Amino acid sequence: MSTPATAAKKKVPFDYSGYLRAGKLPHIWCPGCGHGIVLKSLLRAIDVSGFTKDQLCMVSGIGCSSRTPGYVDFKTLHTLHGRAFSYATGVKLANPELKVIVASGDGDALAIGGNHFIHTCRRNIDMTILVYTNYIYGMTGGQYSPTTPQGAMATTSRYGNIEPVFDTCELAKASGATFVARGTSYHCQELEKILLAAIKHKGTSVVEIIDQCPTYYGRQNKLRSATEMMEIFEKNGTVSVKQADRLPPEKVEGKLLRGILYQVERPEYCEEYDKLIEKVRGQ
């Protein structure tokens, strides 16, 4: 068995085929989209995590990233816009043996699913939530989302977006998530490590993934290519939390932190419910 780390040393490419459903590719994502990179990081992390395909359940809402479950050979559930967290809560509580991973875009998780997102974090139910932040509604053709930067163009902000943005990680932390991290599709090996830690964490783990949508965000904002977007938003727009302390403030200011930003232990919802059952039955 080779872990991705040793595989890299030996230059043996990781074989994704065991985790992908035969006949379901090519995926629907546009050229230059980062969702495929994220999927690969996720599958490498899962491979190391030790969870089997039968144990894994991937749930999503609606949007480009929410199509991820269709490609992976797990128990997969593609639900309604914003509601993935609630479906996932039902699945996990009814069968706590499953390892549940939710894939959700920034609009799905933070706009229509905002209420479900914060309450899922608050309960600290064992679940890994991936929030793909590409600053736009991709599937509906490029409308502004709760993460679209102020001033940015979208098909519904033709004069520049005037709305302030959510900080996904701060929101997750304030809501009670016990693992909060940020990665990018540019730093795909680092993302793999973050995702592995998130999957191994007991409780609600939230990973925001800065990702690029060249088709809708890029074109409307005069960013000429996916690589240009990755350089601006991901390579230069973020700084590793490990480096941030050592860098002068001007090199950190205005940049998003990458890495595991917050991790604590707190009672997990399903375990607490099982204790409640034991207590009630013991009476």
> Where do contacts with another protein occur on this chain (CB under 8 A)?
24, 53-54, 57, 59, 69-70, 73-80, 83, 85-95, 97-98, 115-116, 119, 273, 276-277, 280-281
In the bound state with another protein, the residue whose beta carbon lies nearer, of 11 and 279, is: 279
Nearest-angstrom CA–CA distance, 130 and 180: 10
Nearest-angstrom CA–CA distance, 75 and 161: 39
Nearest-angstrom CA–CA distance, 117 and 53: 25
In the bound state with another protein, the residue whose beta carbon lies nearer, of 16 and 228, is: 16
In the bound state with another protein, the residue whose beta carbon lies nearer, of 114 and 149, is: 114
* Helix%, strand%, coil% for the chain, nearest 5: 40, 20, 40
Q: What is the nearest approach in angstroms of another protein to the Cβ of residue 177?
A: 15
In the bound state with another protein, the residue whose beta carbon lies nearer, of 83 and 182, is: 83
Q: What is the nearest approach in angstroms of another protein to the Cβ of residue 267?
A: 15
CB 36 within 8 A of CB 213: no
> What three-state secondary structure class fits 251?
helix
In the bound state with another protein, the residue whose beta carbon lies nearer, of 12 and 28, is: 28
Nearest-angstrom CA–CA distance, 247 and 244: 5
Q: What is the nearest approach in angstroms of another protein to the Cβ of residue 28?
A: 9
Nearest-angstrom CA–CA distance, 84 and 102: 7
Residues 6+ away with beta carbon under 8 Å from 211: 33, 34, 35, 38, 65, 132, 133, 134, 184, 185
Q: What is the nearest approach in angstroms of another protein to the Cβ of residue 100?
A: 9
In the bound state with another protein, the residue whose beta carbon lies nearer, of 88 and 210, is: 88
Q: What is the nearest approach in angstroms of another protein to the Cβ of residue 162?
A: 28
Nearest-angstrom CA–CA distance, 29 and 35: 7
In the bound state with another protein, the residue whose beta carbon lies nearer, of 264 and 277, is: 277
Q: What is the nearest approach in angstroms of another protein to the Cβ of residue 270?
A: 9
Burial of 104: CB neighbours in 10 Å, binned 0-12, 13-18, 19+: buried
The number of helices, as runs of H, and strands, as runs of E, in the chain is 12, 8
CB atoms within 10 A of CB 78: 17
Q: What is the nearest approach in angstroms of another protein to the Cβ of residue 117?
A: 10
